[in-house]
Amino acid sequence: MSRLRAMLSTTAVRLSALYLGLFALCAVALVFYVTSISVGMQHDRIQRVIGSELRVVAGAYRNNGITGLVRVIERRARQPGANLYAIAAPTGELIAGNIGAIAPGVLDNEGWTTLPFRYERLGDRSSQDHRALAQIVFLPNGMRLMVGRDIGEREQVRGLVRQALVTALAIMFAGALAIWFFVGRRALKRIDHMSKASKKIMAGDLSQRLPVNGSGDEFDRLSLSLNAMLGRIERLNEGLRQVSDNIAHDLKTPLTRLRNRAEAALAGGEDADSHKQALEQMIADSDQLIRTFNALLMISRVEAGSSTAQMSLVDLSGLARDAAELYEPLAEDAGVVLTADITPGLTITGNRELLAQSLSNLIDNAVKYVGDVAAPKITVSLVRSGEVFRLSVTDNGPGVPADRREDVVKRFVRLDESRSKPGTGLGLSLVQAVAALHGGRLELEDGSTGADSSPGLAASMVLPRGK
């Protein structure tokens, strides 16, 4: 019973009831309108037929008097499907015609009968109730002439229409009940499944998703939207958890080192040089911590979309060329050959500072991790590929294993587990966030063409061209 009450309280059932009621009201109004029109048309036809008959019998009366009138009426009354004919004396006694009995008072007034009256046809022994409309004419000798028409056909039409209306309404009601039951039950089942999944999600299992049956209805659209939101929340929570773990791991060491150096400087006596050296090392460690927190703040701002207001038209070709020229001396000092293959004249609507920072991160990573290959080289390229621009930094170093490429874009994740190389493990995270801010993505692929023994790495920012 509670499930039935819940089903009846659904919006689908309420809308179905509203539409059924509105349709039934319109159907009843339409049926009554059609019935009244058809009855009116039949009434007009009866009047025309009776008027025509009266002209015929009136002609017989004018030509042959009452004898000719009676003779014509007796002849026409015996024809199949004949109208109703009656000649009555001034006292109301029926003299001729095909009517055996008539309701009292019908022949008392001349003209059209205002309402249908009861009558019995001459020789009819059935108990069927006959009704008719007629026109009464008073003859000069005081006798009354009546010509009428049975309205049973009209009543039959009205009865059939009413019966059809009742049948149609009954079928609609039964269909509505069936629709309410099956549609409402199906909707309740889906809502129950969504409620169960929601309870599991509220209990902390963010891997749960709302059910989608592939019908594309409003429930599917709602589930898809909420599932996308849940996926985003799950990724953010996972990222937050990883960030918390990695911050505890990566920042604990420099903070401990800062404290140890301060403690060693205090215990080192009055040697000014040792104090100065300790302070310089502490400042360097502090700078590294500040850079780490700045990178975290920048990633957070980018992911929150706070930089979208600073979008402008950016010469992407010029930005890539400037970055390559800026890092060329650094690469040369590291023994790396840095070249550029940049398609000129490519522009994009974006944030110039963030795009420049992202490209700098990619080049800096390539210079640090290109490795000890025989001829290390890095290529900065910018090409147009269909509706996107591909800004890539490719090296011929050891690369990144395919099964680790999803990990290296996470915050504080570094393939160098020993942390022997400088860095925070936030560079690729920032690149990915900036690419997403511009409606693009970060792609990591093998950079070697097959001639080198090392797979290399091609890190590409794929950015939409826009308008």
Q: Is 374 exposed, middle or buried (0-12, 13-18, 19+ CB in 10 A)?
A: exposed
Q: pLDDT value at position 141?
A: 84
335, 376 Cβ separation under 8 angstroms = yes
374, 430 Cβ separation under 8 angstroms = no
Check pLDDT > 90 for residue 167.
Answer: no
27, 168 Cβ separation under 8 angstroms = yes
The separation between CA 281 and the C-alpha centre of its own chain, rounded to angstroms, equals: 60
Task: Please choose, from the candidates 92, 91, 83, the residue with its C-alpha nearest in 3D space to the C-alpha of residue 133.
Answer: 83
Q: 274-316: per-residue pLDDT in tens? A: 777 778 888 877 877 776 777 666 666 666 665 555 778 889 9
Provide the residue type at 212 as one letter. V
Q: pLDDT value at position 390?
A: 93
Token representation of residue 288:
């590294």
Q: Give the Å distances, CA to CA, from 201 to 209, 227, 228, 230, 234.
A: 8, 11, 14, 9, 10
176, 20 Cβ separation under 8 angstroms = yes
Q: If DSSP codes are grouped into helix, strand and coil, which group holds residue 417?
A: coil
Check pLDDT > 90 for residue 2.
Answer: no
Sign of CA dihedral 226, 228, 233, 237: positive
363, 393 Cβ separation under 8 angstroms = yes
Q: Residues 360-386: what's their mean pLDDT?
A: 87
Q: pLDDT value at position 412?
A: 64
Cα separation, 114 vs 268, in Å, equals: 130
Check pLDDT > 80 for residue 264.
Answer: no
Taking all residues of the chain, what is their mean pLDDT, rounded to a whole number? 79
Q: pLDDT value at position 321?
A: 93
DSSP 343: -
160, 39 Cβ separation under 8 angstroms = no
Cα separation, 198 vs 194, in Å, equals: 6
pLDDT band at 8 (very low <50, low <70, confident <90, very high): low
Cα separation, 174 vs 184, in Å, equals: 15
H/E stretch holding 355: helix 352-369
Buried b (16+ CB within 10 A) or exposed e, 286-321: eeebeebeebbebbeebbeeebeeebeebebbebbb
Q: Give the Å distances, CA to CA, from 402 to 262, 443, 444, 445, 457.
A: 43, 12, 9, 8, 10
H/E stretch holding 241: helix 218-267
DSSP 150: E
Task: Please choose, from the candidates 310, 443, 307, the residue with its C-alpha nearest in 3D space to the C-alpha of residue 388.
Answer: 443
Cα separation, 121 vs 37, in Å, equals: 29
Maximum mean pLDDT: which of 200-204, 257-261, 375-379? 375-379
